[in-house]
Amino acid sequence: MSYIGRTPSTDVKAASFYYTAFTGVDSTSFITLDSWKLDFAHDIYSVSSGVVTVSESGLYEINTSLGIQDNAETNNYRYTCELEFLKNGTTRIAATSTGYLRRRDGNNYIAPTLKKTVELNADDTVEVRIKRLNDVSGGAFMATTPSRNNFDFVKLERTL
């Protein structure tokens, strides 16, 4: 659910961030995606070094969709990844392993996604982390087109 270029009504407590940095994602250790740029956000959200903080407790829907491509330097390059949401720097709240990029077959772009509905407390933080799973290194990186990379939050209102 990318909101790029669209602003929801003011009664929706939402935020949308996009990623435009040329960031390598070829590490076999988790890295935090730290170059999220603000598209729009309700004042309950703030971001610093890729980590989003919420100032109100409640139920949140969190979604990310990434664009990952190879650098065209390694003909037999293969890439699969694990993507996770980390809460407060230590607690994994969602994860997926997804995507298969294989340069030789012409499949040089993947779009892994992750979505989670989770209870957050005021001042909780959430970050997106990624790592390469396969053993063939090459040169995968985040696509630099803003619409291909998003990190979205919506605070869900409860009604009885």
pLDDT digits (tens, 9 = 90+) for 80-94: 889 999 999 999 999
| Cβ atoms 87, 81 nearer than 8 A | no
| Cβ atoms 18, 36 nearer than 8 A | yes
Per-residue pLDDT of 54-81, as tens digits, reads: 999 999 999 999 988 877 666 667 788 8
DSSP-derived secondary structure for 91-124? EEEEEEEEEEEEGGGTB-EE--EEEEEEEE-TT-
Q: Tell me what the mean pLDDT of segment 95-103 comes to.
A: 79
pTM: 0.85
Domains of the chain (ranges; CATH) run: 14-156 (2.60.120.40)
Q: Tell me what the mean pLDDT of segment 10-38 comes to.
A: 86
Give the mean pLDDT of the chain: 84
